Amino acid sequence: DGGITQSPKYLFRKEGQNVTLSCEQNLNHDAMYWYRQDPGQGLRLIYYSQIVNDFQKGDIAEGYSVSREKKESFPLTVTSAQKNPTAFYLCASRTKLRNQPQHFGDGTRLSIL
């Protein structure tokens, strides 16, 4: 089945540790996105990528890093510089066609130990 797969579903981070969230899509979508969701809030854009080997900062990029080495994959690293990483993280993708919506994965819940 075509879709967006995020792993793991739950992730725990120790103080000072970097962790990486995986996002893989087999929809042949060009653009991929990472969002953060906090309780009672809408989604906020962390990073996005429109093409392989290129990505742009969103509204809350500090403390996060990404890579886009393959079209299918857009991993997000939450670094130790992100002081409040506890949140729900959603990955999305869409085709280049201008009127197409973003489709989302099932999310990863990150918590601090």
Partner 1 sequence: AQTVTQSQPEMSVQEAETVTLSCTYDTSESDYYLFWYKQPPSRQMILVIRQEAYKQQNATENRFSVNFQKAAKSFSLKISDSQLGDAAMYFCAYRSARSEKLVFGKGTKLTVNP
Report yes or no: 103 and 92 within 8 Å, Cβ to Cβ. Answer: yes
| Minimum CB distance to partner 1, residue 40 (Å) | 7
3-state secondary structure of 64: strand
3-state secondary structure of 32: strand
| Minimum CB distance to partner 1, residue 25 (Å) | 14
Report yes or no: 74 and 88 within 8 Å, Cβ to Cβ. Answer: no
Span of 12-20, 21-29, 44-52, 77-85 interacting with partner 1 by CB under 8 A: 44-52
Site for partner 1 (CB under 8 A): which residue of 14, 15, 53, 101? 101
**Which C-beta is closer to partner 1: that of 38 or that of 69?**
38
Q: What residue has token string 């969230």?
A: 21
For the chain, the straight-line distance linking the first and the last C-alpha, in angstroms and rounded, comes to: 35
State the burial class of residue 65 (Cβ atoms within 10 Å of its Cβ: 0-12, 13-18, 19+). middle
| Minimum CB distance to partner 1, residue 63 (Å) | 19
**Which C-beta is closer to partner 1: that of 16 or that of 42?**
42
User: Which positions lie near partner 1, rule CB under 8 A?
Assistant: 31, 33, 40-45, 48, 50, 56, 58-59, 88, 90, 92, 98-99, 101-107
